[in-house]
Copies of this chain bind each other. A is one copy, B any other.
C-alpha cells in the first residue's frame, strides 16, 4: 500500500540523518539503504527537487539534509516521491456527488486521511529518537546486552 519508492525515500532520509553533517554520495547511501543505485538516484533527484536534501558536487560532495530532523515531517518525504492523493471529488464524476462524497468514497478517503495524518504528525527527529526498538538502518544484532537474570 505504501510504495517501494516511499520506502526507499524514507530509508535515504534516515541514512542522511544518521550520517549528518557529513555529505553522503549516492553510492554510500545505496550501500547503507540496500536500494539499487539507479533507482536511488531517481529518488534522490525527487527529494532534491522538493527541497528536502542539498546536493553538492566535488570531492567532498554528496547529499545532506536540507532541513533539521525536528522540522521534517515524514509526510514531506512521502509527498516528494509518491504523493498521497486524497479523494476530493467523486471518482465517477456523478454531478450529484461532486465534492460531497458518497458513503463509499468518504470511507475510502477517511482511510487515506488517517495515513496522511500519521505521517504529517511524525517528524524525522521522533523516529530517530525513538528508543523503543532497534535503530533504523543499523543492525544491532551484535550489540545486544547480555541478560544476566
Residues of A at the B interface (CB closer than 8 Å) are 1-2, 7, 10-11, 14, 33-34, 74, 84-85, 91-97, 100-108, 110-112, 114-115, 118-119, 122, 126-128, 130, 132-144
Contacts and interface: CB of A to CB of B under 8 A. Distances in A.
Contact of A101 (B11, B103, B133): B133
A103 B1 contact: no
Contacts of A7: 91, 108
Given A96-B141, A115-B115, A102 B2 contact: no
B94 A141 contact: yes
Contacts of A102: 133-137
9 contacts: A1-B2, A1-B115, A2-B111, A10-B108, A101-B134, A102-B135, A103-B135, A107-B118, A110-B118
Looking at chain A's contact residues, the main secondary structure is: loop
Contacts of A140: 96
Contacts of A138: 94, 96
B103 A130 contact: yes
A130 B110 CA distance: 15
A92 B134 contact: no
A112 B10 contact: no
Contacts of A2: 1, 108, 111-112
